[in-house]
Structure 1
Amino acid sequence: MKTAGAKRQRLMAAAAQVVHQQGVERTTIADIAHTADVPAGNVYYYFKTKDDLIAAALAEHSRQLAVITGELDRRPDPRERLKSLVDGWVGQRDLAARFGCPTGTLAAELDKRAEGGLDAEAGNVIRLLLDWVERQFREMGLPEPDGLALTLVGAYQGMSLLTNALRDPEIMAREGARLIGWLDSL
Protein backbone atom coordinates (compact mmCIF):
# COMPACT_ATOMS: atom_id res chain seq x y z
CA MET A 1 0.00 0.00 0.00
CA LYS A 2 2.96 2.27 0.65
CA THR A 3 3.83 2.04 -3.07
CA ALA A 4 0.26 2.95 -4.07
CA GLY A 5 0.33 6.02 -1.82
CA ALA A 6 3.67 7.09 -3.24
CA LYS A 7 2.42 6.62 -6.80
CA ARG A 8 -0.72 8.65 -6.06
CA GLN A 9 1.42 11.43 -4.55
CA ARG A 10 3.70 11.41 -7.61
CA LEU A 11 0.64 11.75 -9.83
CA MET A 12 -0.68 14.65 -7.74
CA ALA A 13 2.67 16.45 -7.87
CA ALA A 14 2.96 15.80 -11.59
CA ALA A 15 -0.59 17.08 -12.17
CA ALA A 16 0.23 20.30 -10.31
CA GLN A 17 3.44 20.77 -12.29
CA VAL A 18 2.10 19.94 -15.75
CA VAL A 19 -1.13 21.90 -15.35
CA HIS A 20 0.90 24.91 -14.19
CA GLN A 21 3.20 24.68 -17.18
CA GLN A 22 0.68 23.76 -19.88
CA GLY A 23 -2.72 24.82 -18.57
CA VAL A 24 -5.77 22.64 -18.08
CA GLU A 25 -6.90 22.39 -21.67
CA ARG A 26 -3.50 21.47 -23.14
CA THR A 27 -2.67 18.94 -20.44
CA THR A 28 -3.42 15.29 -21.11
CA ILE A 29 -3.53 12.38 -18.74
CA ALA A 30 -0.59 10.95 -20.71
CA ASP A 31 1.43 14.12 -19.97
CA ILE A 32 0.82 13.72 -16.26
CA ALA A 33 1.56 9.98 -16.34
CA HIS A 34 4.83 10.62 -18.18
CA THR A 35 5.94 13.29 -15.69
CA ALA A 36 5.03 11.01 -12.76
CA ASP A 37 6.78 8.06 -14.43
CA VAL A 38 3.59 6.01 -14.21
CA PRO A 39 2.06 4.01 -17.09
CA ALA A 40 -0.85 6.02 -18.51
CA GLY A 41 -3.29 3.18 -17.94
CA ASN A 42 -2.48 3.13 -14.23
CA VAL A 43 -3.61 6.74 -13.81
CA TYR A 44 -7.25 5.64 -14.04
CA TYR A 45 -6.78 3.46 -10.97
CA TYR A 46 -6.23 6.63 -8.92
CA PHE A 47 -8.12 9.28 -10.90
CA LYS A 48 -11.13 8.44 -13.06
CA THR A 49 -11.29 11.72 -15.02
CA LYS A 50 -9.15 14.65 -16.01
CA ASP A 51 -11.17 16.79 -13.57
CA ASP A 52 -10.17 14.36 -10.80
CA LEU A 53 -6.55 15.06 -11.75
CA ILE A 54 -7.17 18.82 -11.72
CA ALA A 55 -8.72 18.46 -8.26
CA ALA A 56 -5.62 16.46 -7.26
CA ALA A 57 -3.41 19.28 -8.57
CA LEU A 58 -5.36 21.72 -6.39
CA ALA A 59 -4.96 19.39 -3.41
CA GLU A 60 -1.23 19.34 -4.12
CA HIS A 61 -1.17 23.15 -4.16
CA SER A 62 -2.89 23.09 -0.75
CA ARG A 63 -0.38 20.55 0.55
CA GLN A 64 2.58 22.60 -0.70
CA LEU A 65 1.10 25.74 0.87
CA ALA A 66 0.71 23.89 4.19
CA VAL A 67 4.36 22.81 4.03
CA ILE A 68 5.54 26.35 3.29
CA THR A 69 3.40 28.02 5.95
CA GLY A 70 4.30 25.28 8.42
CA GLU A 71 7.98 26.04 7.92
CA LEU A 72 7.33 29.77 8.19
CA ASP A 73 5.34 29.26 11.39
CA ARG A 74 8.55 28.07 13.06
CA ARG A 75 9.80 31.64 12.98
CA PRO A 76 8.88 33.51 16.17
CA ASP A 77 7.98 36.85 14.55
CA PRO A 78 4.93 37.20 12.25
CA ARG A 79 6.49 40.10 10.33
CA GLU A 80 9.52 37.94 9.57
CA ARG A 81 7.19 35.12 8.50
CA LEU A 82 5.51 37.44 6.01
CA LYS A 83 8.83 38.80 4.75
CA SER A 84 10.09 35.24 4.28
CA LEU A 85 6.92 34.43 2.35
CA VAL A 86 7.61 37.36 0.02
CA ASP A 87 11.24 36.26 -0.31
CA GLY A 88 9.98 32.80 -1.31
CA TRP A 89 7.75 34.32 -3.98
CA VAL A 90 10.65 36.37 -5.32
CA GLY A 91 12.79 33.23 -5.32
CA GLN A 92 10.31 31.71 -7.78
CA ARG A 93 10.47 34.71 -10.15
CA ASP A 94 11.94 32.78 -13.10
CA LEU A 95 9.14 30.22 -12.87
CA ALA A 96 6.57 33.03 -12.54
CA ALA A 97 8.00 34.72 -15.63
CA ARG A 98 7.37 31.55 -17.64
CA PHE A 99 4.11 30.30 -16.17
CA GLY A 100 2.65 32.77 -13.63
CA CYS A 101 1.42 31.89 -10.15
CA PRO A 102 0.51 28.19 -10.00
CA THR A 103 -2.76 28.68 -8.15
CA GLY A 104 -3.70 32.09 -9.54
CA THR A 105 -3.34 31.07 -13.17
CA LEU A 106 -5.21 27.84 -12.52
CA ALA A 107 -8.03 29.72 -10.77
CA ALA A 108 -8.34 32.12 -13.72
CA GLU A 109 -8.35 29.27 -16.22
CA LEU A 110 -10.90 27.20 -14.30
CA ASP A 111 -13.18 30.21 -13.95
CA LYS A 112 -13.60 30.24 -17.73
CA ARG A 113 -14.84 26.64 -17.86
CA ALA A 114 -18.59 26.11 -17.93
CA GLU A 115 -18.60 22.92 -15.89
CA GLY A 116 -17.05 21.32 -12.88
CA GLY A 117 -16.97 23.69 -9.93
CA LEU A 118 -13.20 23.37 -9.75
CA ASP A 119 -12.96 27.16 -9.89
CA ALA A 120 -14.35 27.28 -6.35
CA GLU A 121 -11.78 24.71 -5.25
CA ALA A 122 -9.00 26.92 -6.67
CA GLY A 123 -10.47 29.82 -4.74
CA ASN A 124 -10.29 27.69 -1.58
CA VAL A 125 -6.53 27.29 -2.02
CA ILE A 126 -6.14 31.05 -2.33
CA ARG A 127 -8.39 31.44 0.73
CA LEU A 128 -5.97 29.25 2.71
CA LEU A 129 -3.17 31.67 1.87
CA LEU A 130 -5.30 34.70 2.70
CA ASP A 131 -6.29 33.20 6.04
CA TRP A 132 -2.68 32.43 6.96
CA VAL A 133 -1.53 35.93 6.00
CA GLU A 134 -4.43 37.47 7.93
CA ARG A 135 -3.38 35.51 11.05
CA GLN A 136 0.11 37.01 10.77
CA PHE A 137 -1.25 40.55 10.60
CA ARG A 138 -3.63 39.80 13.48
CA GLU A 139 -0.74 38.46 15.55
CA MET A 140 1.10 41.71 14.82
CA GLY A 141 -1.85 43.52 16.39
CA LEU A 142 -2.59 45.56 13.27
CA PRO A 143 -6.06 46.93 12.50
CA GLU A 144 -8.00 45.38 9.61
CA PRO A 145 -5.80 42.29 9.21
CA ASP A 146 -8.20 40.93 6.58
CA GLY A 147 -7.69 44.02 4.41
CA LEU A 148 -3.93 43.88 4.86
CA ALA A 149 -4.00 40.21 3.83
CA LEU A 150 -5.93 41.10 0.67
CA THR A 151 -3.40 43.83 -0.07
CA LEU A 152 -0.42 41.51 0.30
CA VAL A 153 -1.86 38.53 -1.57
CA GLY A 154 -3.32 40.83 -4.23
CA ALA A 155 0.08 42.46 -4.69
CA TYR A 156 1.61 39.00 -5.12
CA GLN A 157 -0.98 38.00 -7.69
CA GLY A 158 -0.46 41.27 -9.54
CA MET A 159 3.32 41.07 -9.60
CA SER A 160 3.12 37.42 -10.63
CA LEU A 161 0.73 38.24 -13.48
CA LEU A 162 2.88 41.14 -14.71
CA THR A 163 6.07 39.12 -14.38
CA ASN A 164 4.47 36.43 -16.54
CA ALA A 165 2.79 38.73 -19.06
CA LEU A 166 5.97 40.75 -19.61
CA ARG A 167 8.31 37.74 -19.18
CA ASP A 168 10.39 39.87 -16.82
CA PRO A 169 11.48 38.23 -13.53
CA GLU A 170 12.89 41.53 -12.32
CA ILE A 171 9.34 42.84 -11.86
CA MET A 172 8.91 40.22 -9.16
CA ALA A 173 12.23 41.19 -7.57
CA ARG A 174 11.43 44.93 -7.55
CA GLU A 175 7.88 44.52 -6.32
CA GLY A 176 8.98 41.97 -3.72
CA ALA A 177 11.45 44.52 -2.35
CA ARG A 178 8.63 47.07 -2.27
CA LEU A 179 6.45 44.63 -0.31
CA ILE A 180 9.26 43.98 2.18
CA GLY A 181 9.56 47.75 2.70
CA TRP A 182 5.82 48.01 3.17
CA LEU A 183 5.85 45.21 5.76
CA ASP A 184 8.70 46.96 7.61
CA SER A 185 6.69 50.18 7.66
CA LEU A 186 3.66 48.61 9.37
Structure 2
Amino acid sequence: MTDSTRSRATDKRRRLTAAAARVLHEQGVERTTIADIAEAADVPAGNVYYYFKTKDDLVQAALGEHAANLTRLTDELDELPDPLDRLKALIDAWTARRDVAARYGCPTGTLAAELDKRANGGLDLEAAKVIRVLLAWVERQFRELDLPEPDGLALTLVAGYQGMSLLANALRDPGIMTREGARLTHWLDSLPASNP
Protein backbone atom coordinates (compact mmCIF):
# COMPACT_ATOMS: atom_id res chain seq x y z
CA MET A 1 0.00 0.00 0.00
CA THR A 2 1.46 3.37 -1.00
CA ASP A 3 1.55 6.37 1.29
CA SER A 4 -1.05 8.07 -0.91
CA THR A 5 -3.40 5.07 -0.71
CA ARG A 6 -2.87 4.81 3.05
CA SER A 7 -3.58 8.53 3.42
CA ARG A 8 -6.84 8.25 1.44
CA ALA A 9 -7.89 5.26 3.54
CA THR A 10 -7.15 7.14 6.76
CA ASP A 11 -9.12 10.13 5.47
CA LYS A 12 -12.14 7.95 4.61
CA ARG A 13 -12.07 6.29 8.02
CA ARG A 14 -11.82 9.69 9.71
CA ARG A 15 -14.72 11.06 7.64
CA LEU A 16 -16.83 8.00 8.42
CA THR A 17 -16.10 8.31 12.13
CA ALA A 18 -16.98 12.02 12.23
CA ALA A 19 -20.12 11.41 10.15
CA ALA A 20 -21.17 8.54 12.42
CA ALA A 21 -20.86 10.76 15.49
CA ARG A 22 -22.91 13.52 13.86
CA VAL A 23 -25.59 11.40 12.18
CA LEU A 24 -26.13 9.10 15.17
CA HIS A 25 -26.52 12.18 17.37
CA GLU A 26 -29.01 13.73 14.97
CA GLN A 27 -31.04 10.64 14.05
CA GLY A 28 -30.37 8.12 16.81
CA VAL A 29 -28.98 4.62 16.47
CA GLU A 30 -32.14 2.85 15.41
CA ARG A 31 -33.10 5.31 12.67
CA THR A 32 -29.60 5.63 11.24
CA THR A 33 -28.45 3.32 8.47
CA ILE A 34 -24.94 2.63 7.31
CA ALA A 35 -25.97 4.28 4.03
CA ASP A 36 -26.89 7.48 5.94
CA ILE A 37 -23.43 7.61 7.46
CA ALA A 38 -21.74 6.83 4.14
CA GLU A 39 -23.68 9.63 2.45
CA ALA A 40 -22.81 12.13 5.18
CA ALA A 41 -19.13 11.13 4.90
CA ASP A 42 -19.22 11.26 1.08
CA VAL A 43 -18.00 7.66 0.95
CA PRO A 44 -19.62 4.99 -1.27
CA ALA A 45 -21.84 2.80 0.93
CA GLY A 46 -20.05 -0.37 -0.17
CA ASN A 47 -16.74 1.03 1.03
CA VAL A 48 -17.97 1.40 4.60
CA TYR A 49 -17.60 -2.33 5.25
CA TYR A 50 -13.90 -2.10 4.47
CA TYR A 51 -13.50 0.11 7.55
CA PHE A 52 -16.40 -0.97 9.78
CA LYS A 53 -17.90 -4.45 9.62
CA THR A 54 -21.14 -3.64 11.48
CA LYS A 55 -23.29 -0.72 12.51
CA ASP A 56 -22.20 -1.35 16.09
CA ASP A 57 -18.60 -0.81 14.96
CA LEU A 58 -19.70 2.60 13.67
CA VAL A 59 -21.46 3.34 16.97
CA GLN A 60 -18.24 2.41 18.78
CA ALA A 61 -16.30 4.75 16.47
CA ALA A 62 -18.82 7.54 17.14
CA LEU A 63 -18.30 7.09 20.88
CA GLY A 64 -14.56 7.32 20.26
CA GLU A 65 -15.17 10.57 18.36
CA HIS A 66 -17.19 11.97 21.28
CA ALA A 67 -14.37 10.99 23.66
CA ALA A 68 -11.79 12.64 21.40
CA ASN A 69 -13.89 15.82 21.20
CA LEU A 70 -14.21 15.86 24.98
CA THR A 71 -10.46 15.37 25.39
CA ARG A 72 -9.74 18.22 22.97
CA LEU A 73 -12.10 20.48 24.92
CA THR A 74 -10.69 19.61 28.35
CA ASP A 75 -7.10 19.91 27.08
CA GLU A 76 -7.97 23.40 25.86
CA LEU A 77 -9.64 24.26 29.16
CA ASP A 78 -6.61 22.95 31.05
CA GLU A 79 -4.67 25.87 29.54
CA LEU A 80 -6.58 28.18 31.88
CA PRO A 81 -4.64 28.68 35.12
CA ASP A 82 -7.59 28.59 37.54
CA PRO A 83 -9.81 25.51 38.03
CA LEU A 84 -12.87 27.67 38.72
CA ASP A 85 -12.32 29.45 35.40
CA ARG A 86 -11.96 26.04 33.71
CA LEU A 87 -15.33 24.95 35.09
CA LYS A 88 -16.99 28.19 34.01
CA ALA A 89 -15.45 27.83 30.56
CA LEU A 90 -16.85 24.30 30.38
CA ILE A 91 -20.33 25.67 31.09
CA ASP A 92 -19.75 28.34 28.43
CA ALA A 93 -18.82 25.61 25.94
CA TRP A 94 -22.03 23.75 26.78
CA THR A 95 -24.21 26.83 26.41
CA ALA A 96 -22.47 27.83 23.16
CA ARG A 97 -23.96 24.66 21.66
CA ARG A 98 -27.45 25.46 22.95
CA ASP A 99 -29.07 25.27 19.50
CA VAL A 100 -27.63 21.80 18.88
CA ALA A 101 -28.68 20.68 22.36
CA ALA A 102 -32.20 22.00 21.83
CA ARG A 103 -32.49 20.09 18.58
CA TYR A 104 -30.71 16.83 19.47
CA GLY A 105 -29.73 16.79 23.17
CA CYS A 106 -26.28 15.99 24.54
CA PRO A 107 -24.35 13.85 22.03
CA THR A 108 -23.09 11.33 24.57
CA GLY A 109 -26.02 11.48 26.98
CA THR A 110 -28.66 10.81 24.35
CA LEU A 111 -26.56 8.04 22.83
CA ALA A 112 -26.04 6.45 26.25
CA ALA A 113 -29.78 6.53 26.97
CA GLU A 114 -30.63 4.99 23.61
CA LEU A 115 -27.96 2.30 23.83
CA ASP A 116 -29.16 1.33 27.30
CA LYS A 117 -32.52 0.32 25.81
CA ARG A 118 -31.06 -2.06 23.23
CA ALA A 119 -31.32 -5.80 23.78
CA ASN A 120 -27.68 -6.46 22.91
CA GLY A 121 -25.72 -4.67 25.59
CA GLY A 122 -22.17 -3.52 25.82
CA LEU A 123 -22.15 -0.28 23.90
CA ASP A 124 -24.07 1.43 26.69
CA LEU A 125 -21.08 0.71 28.93
CA GLU A 126 -18.81 2.29 26.32
CA ALA A 127 -20.97 5.43 26.37
CA ALA A 128 -20.74 5.46 30.16
CA LYS A 129 -16.93 5.50 29.87
CA VAL A 130 -17.10 8.80 27.97
CA ILE A 131 -19.32 10.30 30.66
CA ARG A 132 -16.92 9.01 33.34
CA VAL A 133 -14.06 10.86 31.60
CA LEU A 134 -16.03 14.10 31.93
CA LEU A 135 -16.89 13.38 35.56
CA ALA A 136 -13.24 12.66 36.38
CA TRP A 137 -12.08 15.89 34.75
CA VAL A 138 -14.71 17.96 36.58
CA GLU A 139 -13.90 16.21 39.87
CA ARG A 140 -10.23 17.09 39.40
CA GLN A 141 -11.17 20.77 39.07
CA PHE A 142 -13.12 20.68 42.33
CA ARG A 143 -10.26 18.79 43.99
CA GLU A 144 -7.82 21.51 42.86
CA LEU A 145 -10.17 24.06 44.41
CA ASP A 146 -9.79 22.05 47.64
CA LEU A 147 -13.55 21.74 48.05
CA PRO A 148 -15.11 18.96 50.13
CA GLU A 149 -16.70 16.03 48.29
CA PRO A 150 -15.33 16.87 44.84
CA ASP A 151 -16.92 13.72 43.41
CA GLY A 152 -20.38 14.83 44.55
CA LEU A 153 -19.83 18.33 43.21
CA ALA A 154 -18.74 16.86 39.86
CA LEU A 155 -21.86 14.73 39.74
CA THR A 156 -24.02 17.78 40.49
CA LEU A 157 -22.43 19.83 37.71
CA VAL A 158 -22.56 17.09 35.06
CA ALA A 159 -26.10 16.14 36.09
CA GLY A 160 -27.04 19.81 35.71
CA TYR A 161 -25.67 19.76 32.17
CA GLN A 162 -27.43 16.52 31.29
CA GLY A 163 -30.69 17.83 32.73
CA MET A 164 -30.56 21.13 30.91
CA SER A 165 -29.67 19.36 27.65
CA LEU A 166 -32.55 16.93 28.07
CA LEU A 167 -35.07 19.68 28.84
CA ALA A 168 -33.81 21.99 26.09
CA ASN A 169 -34.21 19.09 23.65
CA ALA A 170 -37.59 17.93 24.94
CA LEU A 171 -39.00 21.46 24.90
CA ARG A 172 -37.00 22.58 21.83
CA ASP A 173 -35.92 25.64 23.81
CA PRO A 174 -32.25 26.67 23.58
CA GLY A 175 -32.94 29.36 26.17
CA ILE A 176 -33.02 26.63 28.81
CA MET A 177 -29.33 26.01 28.14
CA THR A 178 -28.59 29.72 28.57
CA ARG A 179 -30.63 30.13 31.75
CA GLU A 180 -29.47 26.91 33.40
CA GLY A 181 -25.89 27.54 32.35
CA ALA A 182 -26.07 30.90 34.14
CA ARG A 183 -27.56 29.13 37.16
CA LEU A 184 -24.69 26.61 37.20
CA THR A 185 -22.15 29.43 36.95
CA HIS A 186 -23.84 31.23 39.86
CA TRP A 187 -23.75 27.95 41.83
CA LEU A 188 -20.00 27.67 41.20
CA ASP A 189 -19.50 31.23 42.44
CA SER A 190 -21.49 30.46 45.58
CA LEU A 191 -19.25 27.56 46.62
CA PRO A 192 -16.95 28.29 49.57
CA ALA A 193 -13.56 29.66 48.53
CA SER A 194 -10.74 27.15 48.55
CA ASN A 195 -8.18 27.14 51.30
CA PRO A 196 -4.93 28.95 50.39
TM range (shorter): over 0.9
Partners of 1:81 and 1:4 lie apart in 2 by 37
Partners of 1:168 and 1:116 lie apart in 2 by 32
Q: Which amino acid aligns with 2:23?
A: V
1:9 aligns with 2:27: no
- Cα RMSD over matched residues? 0.7
**Counterparts of residues 31-180 of structure 1 (less than 5 Å):** 31-180=36-185
> What's the offset of the Cα at 1:132?
0.4
TM-score (norm. length: structure 1): 0.99
TM-score (norm. length: structure 2): 0.94
Partners of 1:47 and 1:140 lie apart in 2 by 43
Which segments of 5 or more consecutive residues in structure 2 lack a partner in the other structure?
1-5, 192-196
Q: Which amino acid aligns with 1:109?
A: E
CA-to-aligned-CA distance 1:31-90 (integer Å, 9 cap, x gap): 001111111111101100000000000000000000000100011011000100000100
Q: Number of aligned pairs?
A: 186
Q: Is the 8 A contact 1:51 1:116 kept in 2?
A: no
- For 2:20, what is the secondary structure of its paired residue? helix
Deviates more, 1:73-82 or 1:2-11: 2-11
Partners of 2:38 and 2:75 lie apart in 1 by 29
Identity %: 74
Partners of 1:164 and 1:111 lie apart in 2 by 19
> What's the offset of the Cα at 1:116?
3.6
> What's the offset of the Cα at 1:2?
2.1
Q: Which amino acid aligns with 1:30?
A: A
- Stretches of 4+ aligned residues off by more than 3 angstroms: none
Correspondence for 1:21: 26
Query: Which of the pair has more CA radius of gyration?
Result: 2
Partners of 2:121 and 2:7 lie apart in 1 by 31
CA-to-aligned-CA distance 1:90-138 (integer Å, 9 cap, x gap): 0111111110000000000000001041000000000000000000000
Partners of 1:2 and 1:77 lie apart in 2 by 40
> What's the offset of the Cα at 1:7?
1.4
